Amino acid sequence: MNIFSITCTRDLKLNSVTQGLVDTLSSFGVHSKLLFNQTSIFEAYKKGIIACDADDTDIIILCHDDIQLPGKKEDFIAALSLCVHKETGIIGPAGTTLLGADAVWWNQERWQSGYHRGMVRHKEHFKPPPVAYQLEKNTQGCSRIYETNYGPPGEVVALDGLFLAARKEVWDAVGVSKPEYFEGNWDFYDIHYTTKAHTLGYKNHAVFLDIIHQSAGTLTGRDSWHKNRESFIANTELPLSC
């Protein structure tokens, strides 16, 4: 079994975080593929999966370029090992067991009601910790790392898109091309992919993956995010739960 990763990034000259990600994945035995200056994350992932020339049972990771993987190789591989089971769909570090009518997986009310699963650490610069974050430690300079605990690991309906992993046969079944009803080329792919896997009968999981994300996520301010969300809601029977 091989493990591949596909990451979109802008600059041919990699910044220290992206280079560190590639180096770490390589040290973990992952075959990394970087795609530069893409116009659509959907088509980039489609192109990347084809370029992997992977077998059906090989694992393919779709991940952001602004994450760090500070954990040990054996823990990383152990987390991904869940992918080998036939019933497993897509795994990632954080998601929800209930995707409501608003299609916002991290909905605060459902979070407080215990529907969410997983954990992600975030690095913020010159900002106080958001209410939902627990301050973990100070780092050198003005950066701080905050730990966002959504809930215990477990089966979920939808996952956050900063890191998604599945067997190639799962990605093929889901289909990574952009739905015709989406207008934006970069938004809501994670909710589309993971809920599609769920409706196909696969079991998605939030698993423990030690990931530091360089941002807490601000794309919800983008018009294209809202438009894709509205289109997703109009074309999906919600709520979805497991």
More confident residue, 201 or 144: 201
Which residue range forms the structural domain that includes residue 141?
3-70+81-241
Is residue 212 included in any domain, yes or no?
Answer: yes
Instruction: Report if residue 76 sits inside a domain.
Output: no
Amino acid (one-letter) located at 145: I
- Domain of 89, CATH number, reads 3.90.550.10
The pLDDT of residue 136: 43
Q: In this structure, is residue 226 part of a structural domain?
A: yes
Residue range 197-227, pLDDT digits in tens: 999 999 999 999 999 998 765 555 578 899 9
| Number of domains observed in the structure of the chain | 1
Residue ranges of E strands in the chain:
3-9, 31-36, 59-63, 67-68, 88-92, 94-96, 98-99, 116-125, 134-138, 143-151, 154-156, 158-159, 163-167, 203-206, 212-213, 240-241
Residue 18's Cβ-count burial label (10 Å; 0-12, 13-18, 19+) is buried
User: What is d(CA 99, CA 107) in angstroms, rounded to the nearest whole number?
Assistant: 9
Stronger pLDDT, 199 or 129, i.e. the higher one: 199
pLDDT higher than 70, residue 87:
yes
| pLDDT interval class at 139 (50, 70, 90) | very low
75 domain-assigned: no
240's tokens = 């979805």
For residue 129, the model assigns a pLDDT of 44
Structural domain contains residue 54: yes
What is the predicted pLDDT for the residue at 122?
Answer: 84
pTM: 0.91
